[in-house]
Amino acid sequence: MEREVVVTNRECEARLVPSGTEIMIPKNSFVTITQALGGTFTVAVNGNLARIDGKDADAIGKIVEFEEFEIPADGSINESHVWAALRQCYDPEIPVNIVELGLIYGCEVKTNADEKHEVHLKMTLTAPACGMGLQ
């Protein structure tokens, strides 16, 4: 994606990258969209990078587009479903998903005593104490 300058059409929540600090981008602010992957948008605003969640895409005149993957009619889940979903989680600073970055070391799907699925991931962050990892 090429960078695109847009004007916010309403106040918009965002999180600074990499700290994860919440900010509010005012209406009529000029922002530069630097990345639009995985249902979130990374924007440059006031000399900082910030991530805007897909629920606020309309504030920058965008819609969220996800890669579709087939979910079984019976509601079952397996490891391949989890890996497909993880491939839609992108680092907010670079256009690479967390699987391709090598941040996921293992994935296990278990069924608990209540017959509900649990997903256990072994992973790391791109940097120690990365604030975005808590989001």
Residue 74 lies in a domain: no
For the stretch 12-50, pLDDT in tens is 999 999 888 999 999 999 999 999 988 899 999 999 999
Residue 126 lies in a domain: yes
Residue 49 lies in a domain: yes
**Rounded CA gap, 7 and 101, in Å?**
32
Give how far the C-alpha of residue 62 lies from the chain's centroid of Cα atoms, to the nearest Å: 15
Tell whether 11 and 54 lie within a shared domain: yes
For the stretch 44-95, pLDDT in tens is 999 999 999 999 999 999 998 766 767 778 777 889 889 988 998 888 888 8
pLDDT above 90: residue 128: no
pLDDT above 80: residue 127: no
Residue 38 lies in a domain: yes
Tell whether 88 and 50 lie within a shared domain: no
3-state secondary structure of 5: strand
90 lies in which domain range?
79-134
Query: How many domains are there within the chain?
Result: 2
- Identify the pLDDT of residue 94: 83
